[in-house]
Structure 1
């Protein structure tokens, strides 16, 4: 059993990186290596699932009005366009969920390694720069202006997130910009579709890890969950404001720096 401060550190890493375009998987592997957590530690794998749920809850809190509108439970009207609906969500999440289920064993066996994460960090950073430098005409300035075609294209770009280190938010935001969405619209849609994708993924993994939920780890799990929730809430709100003023190239440069440090200190 690990000390409480390990739960705090991992919770902070998860909360900060889960929804930023920097790859939470890469950072979790890096943090685990630095803390001396073995890859075979089943309790910590379950802990990571729990703190992901904390991060998901943060996004639900931020977008609760839009979520209610999706199910016809809110009287709020779209600010522009015809409004985002459940068809947009399904078009964006079905491709990645189907492929993830079909290739889950391959991904875990071949792609969850420090070397593949490093490659994902670099390639994902390049994609962010390409998205920012693209001259694609913006046709969706707000998430409610996204077309079904754009939602589906973003969903296809999300498939890249199955490669650890690529970053789900990074691939979908960059892909959304390449599809004609503004940076803000792509970010909003990315966060919203993260909810069903992550609920499915974490729910599936949690069902396989129920034996790890024992009374002696409850406090450790609770600390990580709360820390992840609070930090993710702050990170999402801050990122939404950031993308309105700055481009995403800064995150790409950060990814390159992390990849270099990763290589120098852990892989050599």
Structure 2
């Protein structure tokens, strides 16, 4: 397959799935195996398309991120602060640092992704079941999230270290289980994703940058731009979706995809 077309396909997949509770890593592994897109270039390409998705969220929440660089942005009594963000990402960053080699070596396969997709779908269903009928009790504004809730969402994010579980899926489900509405949990999830993903991407990029050649730059640029545009539209659509619907449809999709993945690769 032409590499430019491949860049468009993978960029679309990344942009669509990075911030939805369906696991972008899982989709990238599945698509990569199906298209035979593996090896050093694929590793670097995955990082570049993730950076495109990250940039889209920075654009959407630009006022919020700008506030983090002001005095109010550090005050826990004046809405969501840098400390709330740190509470949600520092624990998982520390654990991921020590488990990085193990995860890359043993968990990046269609089989492990299928397991993560299935269990993540069950978690979403459970979170929806636990909060049904008590929506009025939930925190409906990201600026009202407590440090304790932020820490608990960060703990649920440990699940996302298993490819296929989904970072946004685990944190949004975790947010529901600790007393947040879907929208508050989603907004918090997207905001903490930026520093977390940025650090992870730069770490991956530095490890794989030596395998790049000048001829790869066009492919990387195409994937970056496509991912940015698609992720931008995907996040805005998802936030509107959550005003009307719950997460059950995503849970069902995940479980069906888990079954398809196992069938395609192992039966």
Q: TM over 0.5, yes or no? A: yes
TM class, shorter-length: over 0.9
Q: Secondary structure at the match of 1:244?
A: helix
- Output the CA distance in 1 between the equivalents of 2:45 and 2:3: 13
Q: Which runs of 4+ in 1 moved over 2 A?
A: 135-139
Contact 1:82 1:145 in 2 (8 A): no
- Output the CA distance in 2 between the equivalents of 1:231 and 1:251: 18
- Output the CA distance in 2 between the equivalents of 1:230 and 1:212: 27
Alignment length, in residue pairs?
A: 262
Let me know the Cα RMSD of the aligned residues: 1.8
Q: How does 1:34-53 map to 2 (within 5 A)?
A: 34-38=34-38, 41-53=39-51
Q: TM-score, normalised by structure 2?
A: 0.94
Contact 2:127 2:176 in 1 (8 A): yes
Contact 2:183 2:239 in 1 (8 A): yes
**1:232 is aligned to 2:241:** no
Contact 1:184 1:243 in 2 (8 A): yes
- Output the CA distance in 2 between the equivalents of 1:265 and 1:213: 31
Partner of 2:218: 219
| 1:105 CA drift (Å) | 1.4
Structure having the higher helix fraction is 2
Contact 1:120 1:165 in 2 (8 A): yes
Q: How does 1:1-268 map to 2 (within 5 A)?
A: 2-38=2-38, 41-72=39-70, 82-135=78-131, 138-268=137-267
Contact 1:114 1:267 in 2 (8 A): no
Per-residue deviation, residues 159-215 of structure 1 (Å, max 9, x unmatched): 100000000000000000100011100000000000000001001011112213321
- Output the CA distance in 1 between the equivalents of 2:107 and 2:235: 27
| 1:139 CA drift (Å) | 4.0
| 1:258 CA drift (Å) | 0.7
- Output the CA distance in 2 between the equivalents of 1:192 and 1:213: 30
Contact 2:72 2:78 in 1 (8 A): no
| 1:113 CA drift (Å) | 1.7
| 1:247 CA drift (Å) | 0.2
| 1:74 CA drift (Å) | 8.7
| 1:265 CA drift (Å) | 1.5
- Output the CA distance in 2 between the equivalents of 1:19 and 1:145: 22
| 1:100 CA drift (Å) | 0.1
